[in-house]
Chain A
Amino acid sequence: MRTFVVGIVAVAVVLGLALIAMTVGRSVPQAPQEPGTVNALARSSDACVVCHQRATPGIVEQFGHSTMAAAKVTCRDCHEVKADAPGAVAHEGTWVVNHPTAATCGKCHAAEVAQFSQSRHALPAFVAYAGTGALSKPLRAQYDAIPEAEFQPERMRNSLFALEGEEITRFACQNCHDVGKPAADGSVGECSKCHLRHEFSLAQARKPETCNACHIGPDHPQWEIYQESPHGIAYATGGDKWHWTAKPGTLTVNDFPAPTCATCHFSGFGATGTTHDVGDRLTWYLFSPISKRRPAWQDNRTRMQNVCRTCHNENFIKDFYEKADVATEKVNKWVQESDEMVAPLVKRGLMTKAPFDEPIDFTYFELWHHWGRTAKFGVWMQGPDYTQWHGAYEVLKALSELRTQVQEKLHGAGRR
């Protein structure tokens, strides 16, 4: 019995000490709880850190608070390259690149970079403004392997880019679409568009404000739609209590009681694993004028519905998808109608060749590019006001205007 008594005493002592530690712990100010809260470089003697603490202190401060610094990743690990590396510049006795590429990130995050490179955020984003002409042969092959490539970029390419000129577009289209820009080393994309340098914070990447940088405005107002959706309301009213730094791949409703953009599209959540391919869970090509199903859309749908299923029951999800599919097809019909209206003008050569040089060009373009897409995004993201007043209503209004403009042109041509 001596061993039993000693064992019990040991349990009592340890649990008693644990209770004391917890009680005292609650009564003193909270110490930093997770890596990243302490500046891991505050007293660093590393040459890069010491010099840049004077030259660019903001960057060093940000990186010092990153989990990468805590994991002993150094400035050299990402910036130092061989002398013959594309973009290498001589710097303090070595060679560096100012802007590390996706290939650099891929040294440690190989799976993430591979998934991203196959996604709509990669080359299709870049080709949307630059066309395929700028792609090397290997990049063209890589592009062609991405599902979005079937939309024949030369036809889809937004001619506004050429019209506006780089003086404007470098601050506009390119700013977002460069998320998929190829680098000189052959890798694709800018990871730091979403994972802002130099903190590379998990919480920042998971917050919807990050996506807001691009997914906003009349052409794809996902940020606005999210804000008015039940998911966005839950985020706005309770998001400060969510577990923003929970370990990737292990997230549950305890961490995120409602989803953000990342939860639905990227995070390992419910019975769906983590991905960096933003199209991995999407059923439709909602971005196109007339939406059609994605390849293997049933698999994508299952992955998305696995996320939904953590909160919603099967009937709700099935019902929602059925009705959203019908709504998408309804918008498709309206856009189809606009195409049919304009077709006689094209056939009779009554449309000018130059893009965006007459009112009908804008009406025809905005009908699908702004209002049609907004209506569809509003449906799928549960934003009623954007489905209705910024979406369907505007489509109908644009159809009416387009009808008038077409008739005026036909009437004018008939008189001639």
Chain B
Amino acid sequence: MSHLETALPWVRGRHSPLSRDQLMLLLAAVNQLFLGVDTYLAHSISGTIRPWEWTPIVFGPVAGLLLLVAGLIALRWRTPAMGIAFVTLLASVAVGLVGSWLHWQRAVLPAAPAGQTLAVYLLVWAPPLLGPLAFCGVGVLGMSAAWIERPADSGRLALPWGRSLPMPFSKTRGYYLLVGLGVLAALLSSVLDHARTGYDSGWMWLALAVGVFAAAVPIVLGLMPHPRVDDLRVYLGTMVLLIVLGTLGSALHVEANLVGEGVVIVERFIRGAPFLAPLLFSNMGLLGIIAMMAPTEEWG
């Protein structure tokens, strides 16, 4: 019985048309598309997008489409689909790492007086250090989904030529840990972003509290070999809370960018509160719920 069925008995016997891993890959593809849009908005802040800043903007939609294509052809040709997905997702990890490195370069002042080369305020005002890591997160998530675990929930990943690779955790627990780390990254990103405003709104403290809670719960669950029903229900409730938090955050960011009588000024949406960023919490919540689905792999 899946964790979702354990936590919610009324879903037992209901079957999703897509397996857990298929849904994960679909989510990874959609995430890539959104990351492209989000990066475009973020890189537009300075008014001029430099040539290398186009890389993630172009990569996001291209990667998203490639993953969708891989998902479609996987129904008949699993091996080439795996190849396309794996290369795309590996490239996503690379784009994320290079992006974070470039953002990090903007945060440090190597020639500043000793002791001032790196400071918290520099991290706050620099391009978001953790932003590009979203590409890494999606890449790792996608690769986790693409790898086949055989037998289900064993923690043994199937490799070509009949070989297997034992992992320290089962795929399900790996997903939980990934969700926890993803929420933690989203939380740190929001903390640095909100620090620019001096935490002048109570809503920001709510985001901090819920974010900490929602980062801790999946990590704890991922470390448990045998979670109880109440643990799974707390986790599920937390994921739903994340979805609500992200949606609320996005609405609040949109509201902060509206002026006067609700007039939309594009500039404010680009340079003001990023309305897509809070949806990362919702994204992690959705991912967390999908992770609870049955681990059995029925396709390919």
Contact = CB atoms under 8 A, between A and B. Distances in A.
Contacts of B260: 270-271, 306, 309-310
Interface in B99-137: 105-106, 109-114, 116, 119, 121-122, 125
A110 to B, nearest CB: 5
A72 B109 CA distance: 9
B111 A3 contact: no
A7 B267 contact: no
B259 interface: yes
B270 interface: yes
Interface in B257-297: 259-260, 263, 265-268, 270-272
Contacts of A248: 271
A273 B265 contact: yes
Nearest to B126: A35
Contact of B220 (A3, A34, A250, A268): A3
A272 B119 contact: no
B13 to A, nearest CB: 26
Interface stretch (B61-69, B138-146, B208-216): B208-216
Contacts of B214: 7
Nearest to B50: A108
B208 A2 contact: no
Given A15-B209, A249-B268, A268-B268, A3 B227 contact: yes
A18 B215 CA distance: 17
A222 to B, nearest CB: 26
Interface stretch (A36-44, A177-185, A393-401): A36-44
Interface of A, helix, strand, loop or mixed by DSSP: loop
B266 A40 contact: no
Given A2-B220, A108-B48, A70 B267 contact: no
Given A31-B121, A112-B47, A272-B265, A4 B217 contact: yes
Contacts of A108: 46-48, 50
B121 A34 contact: yes
A32 B48 contact: no
B209 A72 contact: no
B121 A18 contact: no
Contacts of B114: 43
B234 A3 contact: yes
Contact of B217 (A7, A43, A46, A274): A7
B153 interface: no
A56 interface: no
Contact of A11 (B116, B209, B227, B235): B209
Given A111-B47, A306-B260, A1 B271 contact: no
Contacts of A46: 111
Interface in A20-55: 31-35, 38-46, 49
A38 B238 CA distance: 42
A250 B272 contact: yes
B112 A14 contact: no
Contacts of A49: 111
A17 B125 CA distance: 22
A326 interface: no
A31 to B, nearest CB: 7
B57 interface: no
Contacts of B215: 10
A107 B50 CA distance: 9
A268 B231 CA distance: 49
A41 B111 contact: yes
A274 B46 CA distance: 13
B212 A44 contact: no
Contacts of A43: 110-114
20 contacts: A2-B224, A2-B231, A3-B231, A9-B216, A10-B215, A14-B209, A15-B212, A18-B208, A38-B112, A39-B113, A72-B105, A110-B48, A112-B47, A247-B271, A268-B268, A271-B263, A306-B260, A309-B260, A310-B259, A310-B260
Pick the 9 closest A-B CB pairs, nearest first. A10-B216, A249-B271, A44-B111, A271-B263, A4-B234, A249-B267, A7-B213, A273-B267, A250-B272
Given A10-B216, A273-B265, 6 more contacts: A2-B228, A7-B234, A43-B114, A248-B271, A249-B272, A272-B265
